[in-house]
Structure 1
Amino acid sequence: MRKLFFISLFGIASLTACLADKPLQTENKTYRNPVIDYSLPDPSLIKADDGYFYVYATENIRNLPIHRSRNLVDWEEVGTAFTDETRPTFEPKGGLWAPDINYINGQYVLYYSMSVWGGEWTCGIGVATADKPEGPFTDRGMMFRSNTIGVQNSIDQYYIEENGKKYMFWGSFRGIYGIELSDDGLTLKEGAEKKQVAGTAYEGTYIHKRGKYYYLFASIGSCCEGLKSTYTTVVGRSENLFGPYVDKKGQPMMENHHEILIRGNEAFVGTGHNSEIVTDKAGNDWMLYHAVSKENPTGRVLMLDQVRWVNDWPEVTGSTPSLEAEIPVF
């Protein structure tokens, strides 16, 4: 389960000032990781009609910061999804985790997890809406709790549409599950039944459709132990949205088999919870995720890497974070 890393030494104002003083990485033909060098774990990404990419993230479990960029490399903070006055309240002392941003039926729909430390049966998933990607978001309340849907540790939600239907997938080390949503995406569909699609090794689910396959990306290991973090991004694939998802040998993710996409290296550890994949103008696919920097291990910084496809499987060069790479083409 994603836990808290405080941003020490700097407040939000200081971080914004640091960004203002930081030269644009794209003055050169390459960028260096991290693309944001303070803690922004669990990124979720969307491209809005204004031409900006917006990323939403967990940060000190309060109000879900929002940043925007034209190129996935140079980012500016534009606010938070909630304020202390407007933040959700269905878990009164709970923190906000793992936002998932979508554009549904003409509005921005933000799913979030809410929990207290260790509250694996009282945590749950809620939803908020806004007319603009930067908000303000209006909380629409809880969709379900662990104890009402019968899935322990019900966090880390992901929304996907398929054949005109809307679905949510979620779970954290107690199985990954999926269920159909209502037409507006704000509630569970009446009478819908959950189905397990992956085993107990995973959290941070993201499903990407490419060609005939669905790719289930997830994270394994410990996310939040600083330099001891073992978080690793993994993937399996299926020809059906609800599985079975398998590794290259055909072994099922239901039994915790998978392929490793990104593991740590000499510069970063704890590489996990990837965002949605986006394609640049050159046809290259890109993915944000978080990691812990060995040079400055305070928090989980925002990373960017290209995803390449080899024999219909996603790969990141070397299966580890890049230190420096060519910039996306936008």
Structure 2
Amino acid sequence: MSYRNPVIAIQGLDHGDPAVCKYNGKYYLYHTGPREIRVYESKNLVDWEQQGIALHASDDPDHWAQIGLWAPEIIHENGTFYMYVTAALMNEDGSENDAVRRIGVATSDNPLGPFKLAAEPLTDEWSIDAHPFKDEDGTYYLFYNVRNEYTRGPNGVIGTGNVVDRMVDLTTLSGNPTMVVKPEHLWEGNKEHSFFWNEGPFVLKRNGKYFQMYSAGFFGDDTYGVYYATSDTPMGTEGMNDTSWKKWRGGEAILKTNEACLGPGHHVVVKGPNGIDDYIVYHGYEPGEDVPERRVRVGRFQWDGDHIWLEPPSLEEIPVPLKPEFDGRFLPLLEQVNEGLSKCHLSDYHFETNLRPGKNSVSGFAFFVDENNYVKWEMDPSAKTLKVSVHEKAQQVSSFSAELSTDFNPEAYHLFQVVKEGASLKIYVDRVQQLDLTTNFGNQPGMVQIHNGKVAGTIVTKINS
């Protein structure tokens, strides 16, 4: 099966700054809107159905979010969905007051909304394009865009740059923004060189190194594209004068205008349905379409060593994202999930499910060869622990324990993942690595099982080592 870009294109509507939240096996997409944020739903990243309005701007004349709902990005943590969104004050004539544009948060218990805006913004200066990044230890950072004296471009011309601040919690910043990238070259602005942009941050971590992807150039024409910078730390120590982040090749684009797309950029990276493959979701104009409406596109993201490769925009048909070996994402009963898992015997695999423990302990097999050889896990919500025991030849040979977060909510769905490659077996909860085990099972085929609890979005994908 295949698809063509753009994947969302509604005439008369701008789809700028798309962001995707993956939850319980489905995808939810949001984009910029004047006074409302629309939400779309998909099972495969390419076929989308509009589901309504997730967020409305405030009608309160004293509220910070009256108009210009830009660049929403949504995460799920512990049963709550957090939408980080830019908004502006409204002028008397109904236009946006660009001088008072800030980032704030809205929350919901459902990815479809409705989201409720916080009473106060997160930032107290001109700011847009918020991106929450969760590090391996569970610490959150907010990368976002500002426009001030520190972010001027070449020749001191006005510009915007990306900064980062540590989050005290998911609704509070520490108040110490630190420089990440700012405009340095003439090609990072408009053709008149009267304004420069480094914006739209998205951050990944690989082999201990941080990669911040960003967009540069004028968002309204063919100068716009995607770039990246790297650092050994998410946040340096020198504030707005920090230079920890270095642009790849000094600032060379990895996604740019071609015959299939004009001004590609402001993106997110999301895992495909198999839980392994990465995809970039971004916006761009249709070449030859003389309207200010950006369309949503999906393309492959791959690592070439420590370099990011993005699939160029194409007019051709593109293969749809791959499904997992076992796809139990939407099976309603645990018995059905386990029946499918029992038929999936692999030596190297990626397993994930969204697990809702409830009040009682839940357990399962992270790897099961036979009744005498297996790796068992048990999650205790009351003690907030994850315990794992390794059994070989009917004997327990080792056991391990990890502490879950102190605010772990047993009534929420939590992303639970097991990655087995040879003798290595790693377990993650909510994208934080809890345990890294070495076993003697090597290349023996085995399966995963879930004994109890409620599950959704369950998959197993073979890893080709």
Task: Please state which band the TM-score falls in when normalised by the shorter chain.
Answer: 0.7 to 0.9
CA distance in 1, matches of 2:138, 2:313: 36
- Which of the residues 82, 88, 101 maps onto 1:115? 88
Partner of 1:245: 245
Shift in alpha-carbon separation, 1:295–1:71, aligned structure 2, 3 A:
farther
Partner of 2:313: 321
Are 1:175 and 2:150 an aligned pair?
Answer: no
CA distance in 2, matches of 1:197, 1:84: 30
CA distance in 2, matches of 1:34, 1:92: 30
Partner of 1:129: 107
Partner of 2:20: 45
Partner of 1:210: 206
Shift in alpha-carbon separation, 1:180–1:220, aligned structure 2, 3 A:
same
CA distance in 1, matches of 2:121, 2:173: 7
Q: How far apart are residue 307 of structure 1 and its match?
A: 0.9
- Contact kept? 1:289, 1:304, Cα under 8 Å: yes
SS of the aligned residue for 1:42 comes to coil
CA distance in 2, matches of 1:64, 1:88: 19
- Which of the residues 153, 165, 172 maps onto 1:187? 172
- Tell me, which stretches of 5 or more residues in structure 1 are unaligned? 1-28, 148-152, 250-256
Partner of 1:293: 286
- Which of the residues 135, 139, 154 maps onto 2:117? 139
* 1:28-68: CA deviation from partner (whole Å, max 9, x where unpaired): x211111112331101111112x210011113x12111101
Query: Could you say which structure has the higher strand fraction?
Result: 2
- Tell me, which stretches of 5 or more residues in structure 2 are unaligned? 90-94, 147-158, 184-196, 237-243, 324-465
CA distance in 1, matches of 2:265, 2:276: 24
The one-letter amino acid paired with 1:55 is L
Q: What percentage of residue pairs aligned between the two structures are identical?
A: 30
Partner of 2:303: 309
- Number of aligned residue pairs: give it: 280
CA distance in 1, matches of 2:59, 2:30: 17
The one-letter amino acid paired with 2:84 is Y
Bigger drift between 85-94 and 63-72 goes to 85-94
CA distance in 1, matches of 2:288, 2:8: 14
Shift in alpha-carbon separation, 1:288–1:176, aligned structure 2, 3 A:
same
Partner of 2:187: none
Are 1:221 and 2:221 an aligned pair?
Answer: no
SS of the aligned residue for 2:253 comes to strand
CA distance in 2, matches of 1:237, 1:79: 38
- Which of the residues 111, 126, 131 maps onto 1:158? 131
Q: How far apart are residue 259 of structure 1 and its match?
A: 3.2
- Contact kept? 1:127, 1:186, Cα under 8 Å: yes
- Contact kept? 1:124, 1:142, Cα under 8 Å: no
CA distance in 2, matches of 1:139, 1:93: 11
Q: Over aligned residues, Cα RMSD in angstroms?
A: 2.3
Which contiguous aligned blocks of 4+ residues in structure 1 show a shift greater than 4 angstroms? 84-89, 116-121
Q: How far apart are residue 95 of structure 1 and its match?
A: 1.3
- Contact kept? 1:285, 1:306, Cα under 8 Å: yes
SS of the aligned residue for 1:263 comes to coil
Q: Which has the higher contact order (CA 8 A, sep 6+)?
A: 1
Q: How far apart are residue 203 of structure 1 and its match?
A: 0.6
